[in-house]
Amino acid sequence: MSTHTQALPNIALASHALLRIVASYLLLTHASAKLFHVPHIAMFDNLPLFRCSARRASSN
């Protein structure tokens, strides 16, 4: 077995771990911006915490 085929799983494991770290950081940043306004994003200024935008079907 060559070193090229042995190195590929190590690269795949490391890139998978890095992808999970970056994705969790982005999710945490988005959640903290919505709930705690840190970092401040102007789009979330007047957003209620729980908002239901579903409309009831009209019964005729």
Is the residue at 51 inside a domain?
no
Is residue 54 included in any domain, yes or no? Answer: no
Q: How much is the pLDDT for 44?
A: 75
- Distance between CA atoms of residues 39 and 45, nearest Å: 12
Q: What tens-digit pLDDT sequence spans the chain (60 residues)? A: 456 666 678 889 999 999 999 999 999 998 888 888 887 878 878 877 676 665 555 555
Domain assignment present for residue 18? The answer is yes
CA 36 to chain centre: 16
Inside any domain, residue 53: no
Task: Compute the chain's Rg from CA coordinates.
Answer: 22
Write out the residue range of the structural domain in which residue 13 sits: 3-43
Q: Please give the pLDDT value at position 10.
A: 85
Number of domains in the chain: 1
pTM of the model: 0.57
